[in-house]
Amino acid sequence: MVILSLVSCSVSLFSPPISLRLRFPPVTSLFSHVSFPASTFKPELRPLFVCCLQRRETAHIHRCNCLTCTIDGETQIGSLFSLFRDIGFKEEETEMILAKNPDVKSTPLDKISARVASLQSLKLDGFAIQGLIAKCPSLLTSEELDLVITFLVDELEGRLDPELVERILAVSDTSFLLSFNQKVRLLIHHGIPKEKISYVLSKVYLNKLMYQKSVEDIERLISYLEPFGGIGIIARRPVILNSDLDTQLIPRVEFIRNLSGEDDFATGTVLRRLPAILSYSVDHMNSHVEFLKSFAGLTSEQVFKIVHVFPNVISTSKERKLRPRIEFLKESGFDSPGMFKFLSKAPLFLALSEDNLSHKLGFLVKIGYKHRTRELAFAMGAVTRTSSDNMQRVIGLYLSYGLSLEDILAMSTKHPQVLQYSHTSLEEKLEYLIEYMGREVEELLAFPAFLGYKLDSRIKHRYEEKLKSRGENMSLNKLLTVSAERFSKTADNIEVICL
């Protein structure tokens, strides 16, 4: 009965070979109800029956495995959507990211969660992480990123600003991040302090540094600049790292060096004072040098001495500033040697804004200076070192102590620096002169340089020493200008006589 219910055979008389149609109930049902030996079947059907049973069981197991994989895949995708939702992505945005980077789907969820946590350890906020993942989904799966994060957290001790970290990680090819570690280590090895590395990296073009500059290129650049200040110049002007050594830096440094008479130390001084001078082309620098030689009548040596004192002359506009300022000096009676001497002491005169100079010129004319005179030019040179506001306060302070405009003119003609000193420092010295030393303010007319000495270490010290030796009536000039050795001997002699 069981055999008849399980197997039905039909033999076609017209279409050989024999065609068999077998109908089996589910295997699990078959074996859950009854067990029977294969010998129950006719000998010619036994192999066929056993083969069919094996295929049925194999198909059943395979279907179960596929079902398990489908369930695991759906769980992974669901967890990813949940994770991305927590980061701040909408469902459609997550779908786009997964489509853009299919590797995310096959990466273990715990690894992706750990990567997000590591990004958070770099002090990146949710918006920054969301933006990075949207732009570069490969950050979630990149093996290189682990090394970079370890470098940023452990070696750099998390010193980089979050905005800079975001710029570093926003690369289209994460393989470049490995060379980033090497390049930063190289800068630190050559002397860039870790606390300054964030500033240096924030000032360079990161894409150019990471994609176009090899470690060897950076090493060559630093080595070339070594005789002139090396890493110190780069620390002050990090964008130099983006310059091409052969076509940009070497020609520019050599131009300055040739102008200096091949003096490496003097060349280094110029570069350290103004590293930005390396941003100007050789043609630009040469045009400024030739202008000063032709229009002001200076020699190459004199031009370099001015550049050595004030490298910014190279960045000053020839037509808007250099030409009218040199014309002013010519109208004031200066010849070429006189202009060189003036510009060596007051090179800022060439670079200050027109508004700045016009305000100061107005104050000088108000106290009595005449146009197109050497005295006015010297006074202008002196006040280039102070602000218009301080200059106005200084003039007001002198007037408040009883000095007239004529007195201020006489003092500044004799000692032009009296108009450039800090008004707070001047007030302290004037108060000490009158209140503690008991002198008259008019004594400044004979010796205005008194106001240039340091109050505590020079004026007070000398005056108090003289008080001990009863020499308080000594003139201000003698009190302050005599050498320390002679002053000490004079004080000792006076004290012996008094004894």
What pLDDT was estimated at residue 365? 96
Phi-psi region of 404 (alpha: psi -120 to 50; beta: other; left: phi over 0): beta
SS3 (DSSP) at 466: helix
Amino acid 252 reads R
Task: Yes or no: say if 179 and 206 are a contact pair by the CB < 8 Å rule.
Answer: no
DSSP alpha helix (H) spans, 334-431? 336-345, 354-367, 374-383, 388-400, 405-414, 423-431
CA separation (Å) from 125 to 63, 117, 122, 427?
A: 45, 11, 9, 52
* Whether residue 106 has pLDDT greater than 60: yes
Tokens 């083969």 correspond to: 51
What pLDDT was estimated at residue 409? 97
Predicted confidence band of residue 271 (pLDDT cuts 50, 70, 90):
very high
CA separation (Å) from 149 to 117, 154, 480?
A: 11, 8, 62
pLDDT digits (tens, 9 = 90+) for 11-34: 333 334 433 344 444 444 433 444
- Does the N-terminal peptide bond of residue 17 adopt cis geometry, omega within 30 degrees of 0? yes
What pLDDT was estimated at residue 95? 87
d(Cα 59, Cα 64) in Å, to the nearest integer? 9
* Whether residue 1 has pLDDT greater than 90: no
What pLDDT was estimated at residue 416? 92
Which of 93-102, 268-277, 374-383 has the least mean pLDDT? Answer: 93-102
CA 418 to chain centre: 39
Structure tokens at 13: 């008389």
* Whether residue 72 has pLDDT greater than 60: no
What pLDDT was estimated at residue 23? 43
Predicted confidence band of residue 155 (pLDDT cuts 50, 70, 90):
very high
The stretch 463-486 carries a mean pLDDT of: 73
What pLDDT was estimated at residue 20? 39
pLDDT digits (tens, 9 = 90+) for 222-238: 999 999 998 999 999 99
Could you tell me what percent of the chain has a pLDDT over 90? 55
Structure tokens at 383: 């006040």
Residue 164, number of CB atoms within 10 A of its CB:
17
What pLDDT was estimated at residue 100? 81
Residue 88, number of CB atoms within 10 A of its CB:
14
Predicted confidence band of residue 58 (pLDDT cuts 50, 70, 90):
very low
CA 160 to chain centre: 11
What pLDDT was estimated at residue 212? 84
Predicted confidence band of residue 64 (pLDDT cuts 50, 70, 90):
very low
* Whether residue 68 has pLDDT greater than 80: no
> For residues 176-207, b (16+ Cβ closer than 10 Å) or e, as one string?
ebebbbebbeebbebebeeebbbebbeebebe
Helix axes 46-87, 91-100, angle to 10 degrees: 120
d(Cα 415, Cα 172) in Å, to the nearest integer? 64
What pLDDT was estimated at residue 15? 39
The stretch 138-152 carries a mean pLDDT of: 86
Which of 132-146, 148-162, 334-348, 398-412 has the least mean pLDDT? Answer: 132-146
Of 278, 339, 338, give the one whose Cα is nearest residue 311: 278
* Whether residue 486 has pLDDT greater than 70: no
What pLDDT was estimated at residue 479? 81
Predicted confidence band of residue 357 (pLDDT cuts 50, 70, 90):
very high
Predicted confidence band of residue 324 (pLDDT cuts 50, 70, 90):
very high
The stretch 54-65 carries a mean pLDDT of: 45
pLDDT digits (tens, 9 = 90+) for 241-264: 999 999 999 999 999 999 999 999
Task: Yes or no: say if 323 and 295 are a contact pair by the CB < 8 Å rule.
Answer: yes
The stretch 426-436 carries a mean pLDDT of: 95
The stretch 475-481 carries a mean pLDDT of: 81
pLDDT digits (tens, 9 = 90+) for 168-221: 888 767 777 778 899 999 999 999 999 999 999 999 998 888 788 999 999 999
251 exposed, middle or buried (CB, 10 Å; 0-12, 13-18, 19+)?
exposed
What pLDDT was estimated at residue 80? 82
Mean pLDDT score across all residues of the chain: 83
What pLDDT was estimated at residue 359? 95
What pLDDT was estimated at residue 368? 96
Task: Yes or no: say if 158 and 122 are a contact pair by the CB < 8 Å rule.
Answer: yes
DSSP state of 298: -
What pLDDT was estimated at residue 30? 38
What pLDDT was estimated at residue 497? 37
Q: Of all helices (H) and strands (E), which one includes residue 101?
A: none
* Whether residue 144 has pLDDT greater than 70: yes
Which residues neighbour 85 within 8 Å (Cβ) at sequence distance 6 or greater? Answer: 91, 94
